Amino acid sequence: MKKILSLALVFLLVSCQGQSENFASFFTINDVNNIKENLFLVDENGEKLVVPFYTPFLTQIQNNYFKDLNETEKEQFAEDFIFDIQYYNALFDSGYRYMHQGKILNNLYMINRSYGSNERLEISKDLYDILTLGVNLTIASENRFNLTIGALSDLWQNERDSTNPQDPTEEEVSRALTCTADDKNIKEVVVLEEENSQYYVTFKPLKGCNDQVRLSLGAIGKGYAIEYATNKAYKNYALPLLINGGMSSIKTTEKYPYGNSKWSIQFINPLALIDFKGNHNMYEVELDLEGALNLSTSGDYNQFFVNSEGKIRHHIIDPRSGMPLNTFHSVSLLSNSSILADAVTTILMNTASIDEANEVLLKLESYFNGEFIPFYMIENNHKIQFYAPKSLENEVHIISGNDNIYDIESELIFF
């Protein structure tokens, strides 16, 4: 008996295997316009604003819980968890301002607005902590991750959103790079201070930038929100949880609660989403694990376009060159932290080989005292090579039998 998790799909199958004592239920967070507790979007005049089809962290986050709660408990549990996710989304949102408890929330949007003014903004400890992490990740990754990548991200996002997307010009990329700090000067641009249990940020001008530097928490904000909301819910309600963070994150708080089962994660085959001709299986590789887990994936098969040369241009931009790399179709990571897992998969996508990725991973483990287990997907002759650590040789396997419609395309390689 297995709990099947689809790493790239929002929908999760909760299998009770015919046992009446098994219980599972879920709810999905998919709208930022119905936030309770006096937190809501506002326009420049402070008037309430409604943004259609706007989901927290631009994805659907699903909470699956394995305990039979009464109606009052269900309502309170869902309300608490949904608010926590929505609050962190508001705090880390670079696109909109929010009203919180009768005051404009000093969120990422407000920090970006303050760029170059030398204004010292008081911020919450959560925002201070994640900005500190972003600075440290920029330094530890040697600029493979960059907290100030907003100008570059916006440049490529505008192309992906256009009707005829194409590579930005060298001049456009160069201009965006001049407004992107690096691991050498990030602390001079994003100045974080703590005084008497109060927290401040000053977003100072970057020398050589004639436009605006913009902070982005897109690579770590969702992981932070999931980590803290889930840990709080588990502490307060003591129930097994499985959180599916849209297209990239899975977190569980315990082993699968029924019988001797394992969590079974089926990795998406990127070619099934990139090749629209339907020649590839959606899932071909499976990982079976016991216990609580944090698993994150970054890949090129979501938010991408194919340029005139036939190259995939995905949303993960290397801050060193201003261009997306095409080393991997995807990188997945098991970690002791949802926050770090999301960030590190982004960093590893910005490496040129598995050897380089593993070298970077060792440095990050040492820097953050983390525990990281990587999985890599590379295309070779229109087939996927799935690289998994030899320590999990008994847990990772090719899916066979009736689960596949087409011939097996993936090759499983242990390193």
Which among 250, 217, 253 is positioned nearest to 346, based on CA atoms?
217
Domain boundaries along the sequence of the chain: 104-203
DSSP letters, 279-346, are -S-SEEEEEEE-S-EEEEEEESSSSEEE-TTS-EEES--BTTTTB---S-SEEEEEES-HHHHHHHHH
pTM above 0.85, yes or no: yes
Provide the edge-to-edge strand list for the sheet that holds 330-335.
25-29, 61-65, 241-245, 249-252, 293-299, 330-335, 372-380, 383-388, 411-414
| Dist. CA 240–CA 254, nearest whole Å | 6
Q: Per-residue confidence at 14, pLDDT binned at 50, 70, 90?
A: very low
Which comes out higher in pLDDT, residue 399 or 119? 119
Which are the contacts of 309, defined by CB distance < 8 A and separation ≥ 6? none
- The tokens of 167 are what? 């590579």
Evaluate if residue 83 carries a pLDDT over 60.
yes
Q: What is the pLDDT of residue 163?
A: 92
Q: Which amino acid is at 178?
A: T
- 210-233: pLDDT as tens digits: 999 999 999 999 999 999 999 999
Amino acid present at 69: L
Asked if the model's pLDDT at residue 179 lies above 80, the reply is: yes
- Alpha-carbon gap, residue 247 to 194, rounded angstroms: 35
Mean pLDDT of 15-29: 62
Burial tier of 141 (Cβ tally within 10 Å: 0-12, 13-18, 19+): buried
Q: Which of 238, 240, 361, 246 is nearest to 303 (CA)?
A: 246
- Three-class DSSP category at 126: helix
pLDDT band at 405; cut points 50, 70, 90: low
| Sheet with 190-195, side-by-side order of all strands | 120-123, 198-203, 190-195
Q: Residue 258 — very low, low, confident or very high, per pLDDT cuts 50/70/90? A: confident
The CATH H-level superfamily of 104-203 is ApbE-like superfamily (1.10.3980.10)
Confidence band, pLDDT 50/70/90 cuts, at residue 37: low
Q: Region 311-323: what's the mean pLDDT?
A: 96
The pLDDT, as a whole number, for residue 12 is 33
Residues, the chain, total?
A: 415
In DSSP terms, 296 is beta-bridged to: 249, 333
Q: What is the structure's pLDDT at 33? A: 85
